[in-house]
Amino acid sequence: MITGLSIATVWVLDQDSAKEFYTSKLGFEVRTDAEMGPGARWLTVGSPRQPDVELTLCVPGPPMLDPESAEQVRALVGKGVLGAGVMATDDCHATYRELSAKGVVFLQEPAERPYGIEAVFRDDSGNWFSLTQRHERPAPTAASG
């Protein structure tokens, strides 16, 4: 039985640059940084507030991708067309100001959405992320389930 998601892959163009971005700008911590053989590196980061979830910062290539597919993924990442997920925050406006001051590039400033307040930023490889402060969900009542 699957019990949850523990690691998600984010394709990056340079692992050292990505490591610096995710730790110094986003405030993540390095969980694993290990050589896995010639030309292979296992690099994971995660939020200190969420120890059970990690992002593996992976350069497209073998053994996960053949050379032709790896080049296509690198081109898409570099073009900035891949969305890599949603980063949660307790205060979207404050986090937007904090990350902007650190040089994080935002594509959209914080705005009200049906699900909460959202801003959109790019990492140093070109991946875009939603930065979202979810609306409070009302507690279920006896009538609603």
Residue 30 and residue 19 in contact, taking contact as beta carbons nearer than 8 Å? yes
**pLDDT one-digit tens code per residue, 77-103:** 999 999 989 999 999 999 999 999 999
CATH 3.10.180.10 for domain 7-134, yes or no, is yes
- Model confidence pTM above 0.85: yes
Q: Cα(99)–Cα(35) distance, rounded to whole angstroms?
A: 30
**pLDDT one-digit tens code per residue, 119-141:** 999 999 999 999 999 998 766 66
The tokens describing 40, both together, are 């292979």
**pLDDT one-digit tens code per residue, 44-87:** 999 999 999 999 999 998 877 899 999 999 999 999 999 989 99
Q: Cα(2)–Cα(22) distance, rounded to whole angstroms?
A: 28
Q: Cα(142)–Cα(145) distance, rounded to whole angstroms?
A: 6
Domain ranges of the chain: 7-134
